[in-house]
Amino acid sequence: MLHYLLNFLYPPRCAVCGAGLPIDTTRRVCAPCLGAVEPLRAPLCILCGAPLAAGGDDQRCRHCRGVAPAFDSARAITRYRSGADGSSTVAALLRRHKYGLDQSLGRALAEYLDAAPPLHAGGYDLVIPVPLHRARLRWRGFNQAALLGAALARRLNCPLDVATLARVHATAPQTARDRGARARNVRNAFAVRRPSRVAGRRILLVDDVMTTGATADECARVLRAAGARRIDVLTLARVL
């Protein structure tokens, strides 16, 4: 009833494209924008989740065959496209909210998780979002990964932990750098504050976008060093 009244006073609009939504909606993203999400299709690298050429024998991509990642597996809900034709609604959603405070972003992101997330069936003990550095969090006001992590934790009925993994060095934004440079940029950027929280646990690490996987790999490395038993990574989108 309250949402109806609020919707009447502030007509609801799609968080991605701005189209008007029905007055009685509880949703934040319109049906066409949700329907435009393109899932990553098998075959995928069993480690990092990158698409593989169909018909090949190898279950791992070129990069994972070279150096296995520190996480057990990574999967994404959708491919990140940022074409001028607006081909990725997820890209539009993330871009639109990246530098503006919008409390509804978490709800909008969660709507993309409606289909069963592509996760390891064994379950998890903790959901941990990739943290922002304090300074950036203060400046931006929220962490997209934490909003997504909160939505996933609710869905999986699993505790959310935003305190144990910390970003201890502010790093330059991961833009337009090659794989090696991206890995060096995040090296030693993360620390586990309370190793006892993660020792022996199965961790689901959550981020908004994965590019080369360097950030997730570095987080997984310190979680592993602290004794984490299993570390899977779920991102909303994957840049390929």
Residues at the interface with Zn ion (CB under 5 A): 14, 16-17, 19, 30, 33, 45, 47-48, 50, 61, 64
Closest to Zn ion by CB, 201 vs 238, is 238
Query: Alpha carbon 25 to chain centroid distance?
Result: 26
At its nearest, how many Å lie between Zn ion and the CB of residue 78? Answer: 15
- Least distance (Å) from Zn ion to the CB of residue 14? 3
> Which CB, 50 or 147, lies closer to Zn ion?
50
Of the two residues 98 and 193, which places its CB atom closer to Zn ion in the complex? 98
Q: Least distance (Å) from Zn ion to the CB of residue 44?
A: 8
- Contact in structure between 90 and 236 (CB atoms under 8 Å): yes
| Between 61 and 216, CB nearer to Zn ion | 61
Closest CA to 212 of 6, 63, 32: 63
| β strands within the chain, DSSP E | 73-80, 126-129, 165-167, 190-192, 202-210, 230-239
Distance (Å, whole) CA 188 – CA 170: 10
Pairing verdict, β 165-167 and 190-192: antiparallel
Q: From the CB of 61, what's the least distance to Zn ion, in Å?
A: 3
CB of 121 to Zn ion, least distance (A): 20
Amino acid at 102: D
197-202-208 Cα angle (round to 5) = 95
Nearer to Zn ion, 31 or 163 (CB): 31
